């Protein structure tokens, strides 16, 4: 055997040995992870023990319960809502964290069907999002309270809880903000682009076939006509009126007073408290104390939910858990939003 051939052979053996060691190491790590997972499950997590055959998984999602804090006998669920409020299943962390809204909705529905859950601490850190997505979460929270007498909701705002994020706090018995929270931005926004002049300069032409004059409404290659502007403004005004009405009802304020505040302006926590848009300023411990007062108990046991996921779930883009190339590359949609735009 020549010297060069022998070197190649040694190199091949060395490479194969490295690959085998890496593969073996990964297998060991996988086994250790499974053992640790089982150990944690036996300590801080447990599954739903009261599953009903007449309720589907989307109505009563199967999640793990993890002890978060407190030692009381009354069970309360901590549910975070962060980033863009959107129920788009294709969204993920790279698309405004829309997965948070999906996970929050599933958690609310899970808590609704658990007779042992007496309250929800809703932790909000969001600039808002879709009108319908915000309204669906709002309705889910209302359903949670209606499903069992005596339940309570306490919302705790983070850095931002504006527009649609303020909207979802309205079913709360107590709305609390951190001292540094920005909230408000009550209103509706719809944005688009007009690239007509740019397209003309670079020789780009629009080719659209449509069944009616308004079928390509907000086409970026054309101006919006006065009639179309009036049509869109009427829709925006209708959505705005609903927002104002719900704020007035939830905060027990005259609608005329709410309209003065609902011009899209934002508030620091102290000003929001003066305007009666929130009930208190504090931190997590204060939110838990507010919950004990609402429930009339001396102590609560706070849990949080965790979805059971696998690598295959991520590949299959399971609802709210994965991301798709299509969603990452999709152009910005023109739609009505309850959202604070910086």
Which of 215, 238, 260, 270 is labelled catalytic?
A: 215
Instruction: State whether 31 and 160 are in the same domain.
Output: no
Note if 169 is an active site residue: no
Instruction: State whether 177 and 285 are in the same domain.
Output: yes
Instruction: State whether 183 and 328 are in the same domain.
Output: yes
Instruction: State whether 15 and 62 are in the same domain.
Output: no
Instruction: State whether 24 and 98 are in the same domain.
Output: no
User: What CATH number should be reported for the domain holding residue 288?
Assistant: 3.90.226.10
Instruction: State whether 169 and 36 are in the same domain.
Output: no
pLDDT digits (tens, 9 = 90+) for 246-302: 999 999 999 999 999 999 999 999 999 999 999 999 999 999 999 999 999 999 999
* Total count of domains within the chain: 2
Whole-model pTM over 0.85: no
Note if 215 is an active site residue: yes
In a domain, 100, yes or no: yes
In a domain, 150, yes or no: yes
Instruction: State whether 165 and 294 are in the same domain.
Output: yes
pLDDT digits (tens, 9 = 90+) for 5-37: 555 555 566 666 676 777 766 676 655 555 444
Instruction: State whether 94 and 177 are in the same domain.
Output: yes
pLDDT digits (tens, 9 = 90+) for 58-102: 666 777 888 888 889 999 999 999 999 988 754 433 333 335 899
Identify the CA nearest to 222 among candidates 193, 254, 188.
193
Average pLDDT over residues 176-182: 97
- Distance CA(116)–CA(113), nearest Å, equals 9
Instruction: State whether 52 and 158 are in the same domain.
Output: yes
Which of 155, 163, 169, 172 is labelled catalytic?
A: 163
Instruction: State whether 165 and 286 are in the same domain.
Output: yes
Domain range spanning residue 35? 10-43
């Amino acid at each position: 055997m020549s010297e060069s051939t022998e070197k190649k052979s040694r190199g091949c053996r060395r490479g194969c040995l490295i690959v085998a060691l890496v593969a073996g190491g990964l297998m060991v790590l996988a086994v250790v992870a499974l053992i640790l997972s089982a150990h944690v499950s036996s300590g801080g997590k447990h599954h739903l023990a009261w599953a009903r055959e007449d309720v589907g998984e989307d109505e009563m999602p199967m999640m793990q319960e993890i002890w978060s804090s407190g030692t009381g006998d009354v069970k309360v669920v901590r549910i975070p809502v962060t980033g863009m409020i959107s129920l788009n299943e294709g969204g993920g962390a790279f698309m405004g964290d829309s997965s948070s809204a999906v996970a929050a909705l599933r958690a609310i529905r899970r808590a609704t069907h658990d007779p042992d859950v007496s309250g929800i601490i809703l932790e909000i850190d969001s600039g808002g999002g879709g009108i319908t997505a915000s309204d669906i979460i709002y309705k889910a929270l209302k359903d949670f309270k209606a499903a069992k007498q005596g339940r309570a909701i306490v919302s705790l705002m983070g850095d931002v809880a504006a527009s649609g994020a303020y909207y979802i706090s309205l079913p709360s018995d107590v709305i609390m903000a951190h001292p540094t929270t920005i909230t408000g931005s009550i209103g509706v926004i719809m944005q688009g682009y007009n690239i007509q002049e740019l397209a003309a300069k670079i020789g780009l032409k629009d080719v659209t076939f449509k069944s009616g004059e308004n079928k390509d409404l907000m086409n970026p290659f054309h101006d919006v006509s006065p009639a179309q502007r009036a049509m869109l403004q009427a829709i925006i005004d209708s959505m705005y009126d609903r927002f104002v009405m719900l704020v007035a009802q939830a905060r027990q304020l005259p609608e005329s007073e709410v309209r003065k505040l609902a011009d899209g302006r934002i508030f620091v926590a102290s000003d929001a408290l003066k305007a009666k848009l929130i009930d208190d300023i504090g931190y997590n411990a204060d939110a838990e104390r507010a919950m004990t007062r609402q429930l009339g108990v001396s102590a609560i046991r706070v849990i949080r939910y965790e979805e059971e996921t696998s690598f295959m779930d991520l590949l299959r883009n399971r609802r709210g858990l994965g991301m798709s190339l299509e969603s990452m590359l999709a152009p910005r949609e023109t739609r009505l939003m309850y959202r604070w735009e910086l």
